[in-house]
């Protein structure tokens, strides 16, 4: 099995954080994955593109990347896809075939597995709208099928967050549509992303959930925190709900900045912001 020792965290997180990971493993099939899980005895984290992760430089577990779980099979409107496949690449492939439903997903830098874990979404749509079910490896090493209902989707939430289940492959049901209009919609979504988000710097997307009836970005901006820095981690000048790595940030710097933002916003408004990104330390 491919394994990289002393890997750079920046190669596995869209924040491009400083630090070193002892080992990153790339199992090529379920058998290798099962053997690896036994060997690592719980001291691991499954990662996709690391686009929702803040990995501390003190983390001493291993990472498991399922990039070899990347089979794609499209049969009419049913899509069967490996958990390691890129969500944006899948949206493009489906658009080419005139399949509609993943337009919202184009531009979200995720793997399919990570997108299901999070019920990733944008523009009022999210994964559960197109998902039929998944095959997953449970904590007894059985491959189990979970239907959409079993997955208990919520806002940026699914059962995968609460139980030790590894998503192996995903079944999506799309609709027939017109390839040109589907791609047009995707281009429009991408244009809006570029306009609103600081894509010129490494980040992990929105940091905080929007509190009910409010906008986290607005609260952070009103607390005067745009441009506020902890070493290389800075509140974006373009969009206050993004923290960007302007060079040399460690996971610890991002975590410190998150805590400062929460304290300052709470002191000013009485609202405690809830972090949407996952901290691994």
Q: Which residues bind ligand FAD (CB under 6 A)?
A: 14, 45-53, 66, 83, 108-111, 113-115, 117-118, 120-122, 160, 166-167, 197, 199, 203-205, 278
Cα(236)–Cα(226) distance, rounded to whole angstroms? 6
- The rounded distance, in Å, linking the Cα atoms of 174 and 30 is 27
Rounded CA-CA distance 139/114 in Å is 18
Copy the structure tokens of residue 21. Answer: 């990971």
Q: Toward ligand FAD, which CB reaches closer, 61 or 98? A: 61
In the complex, the smallest distance separating the C-beta of residue 230 from ligand FAD, rounded to whole angstroms, is 19
Q: Which is nearer to ligand FAD, 110 or 254 (CB)?
A: 110
Residue 276 falls in the annotated catalytic set? yes
Q: Please, which residue, 66 or 225, has the CB nearer to ligand FAD?
A: 66
Exactly one of 206, 236, 252, 262 is catalytic; name it. Answer: 206
Is 32 marked active-site? no
State the Cα–Cα distance between residues 143 and 134, nearest whole angstrom. Answer: 10
Please state the closest distance from residue 270 (CB atom) to ligand FAD, in A: 27
Least Å distance, CB 268 to ligand FAD, is 26
Measured from the CB atom, the residue of 49 and 99 that comes closer to ligand FAD is 49
> Following DSSP, what letter does each residue of 1-42 receive, concatenated?
-EEEEEEEGGGT-TT--B-EEEEEEE--SHHHHHHHHHHHTT
Which stretch of DSSP H or E encloses residue 175? strand 175-176
Minimum distance, C-beta of residue 241 to ligand FAD, in the bound complex (Å): 11
Query: Which are the catalytic amino acids?
Result: 156, 206, 276
């Amino acid at each position: 099995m491919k394994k990289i020792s002393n890997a750079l965290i920046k190669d596995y997180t869209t924040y491009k954080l400083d630090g070193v990971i002892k080992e990153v493993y790339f199992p090529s099939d379920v058998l290798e994955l099962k053997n690896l899980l036994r060997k690592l005895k719980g001291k691991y984290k499954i990662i996709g593109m690391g686009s929702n992760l803040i990995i501390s430089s003190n983390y001493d577990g291993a990472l498991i990347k399922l990039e070899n779980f990347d089979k794609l099979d499209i049969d009419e409107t049913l899509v069967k896809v490996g958990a390691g496949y890129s969500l944006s690449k899948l949206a493009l492939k489906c658009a080419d075939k005139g399949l509609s439903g993943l337009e919202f997903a184009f531009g979200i830098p995720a793997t399919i597995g990570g997108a299901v874990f999070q019920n990733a979404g944008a523009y009022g749509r999210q994964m559960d709208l197109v998902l039929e079910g998944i095959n997953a490896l449970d904590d007894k090493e059985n491959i189990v099928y979970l239907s959409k209902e079993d997955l208990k989707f919520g806002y940026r939430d699914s059962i995968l967050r609460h139980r030790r289940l590894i998503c192996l492959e995903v079944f999506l049901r799309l609709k027939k549509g017109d390839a040109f209009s589907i791609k047009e919609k995707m281009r429009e979504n991408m244009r809006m992303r570029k306009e609103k988000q600081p894509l010129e710097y490494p980040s992990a997307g929105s940091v905080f959930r929007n509190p009910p009836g409010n906008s986290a970005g607005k609260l952070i901006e009103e607390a005067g925190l745009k441009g506020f820095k902890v070493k290389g981690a800075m509140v974006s000048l373009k969009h206050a709900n993004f923290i960007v790595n302007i060079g040399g940030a460690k996971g610890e710097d991002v975590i410190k900045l998150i805590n400062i933002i929460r304290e300052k916003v709470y002191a000013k408004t009485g609202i405690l912001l809830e972090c949407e990104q996952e901290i691994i330390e």
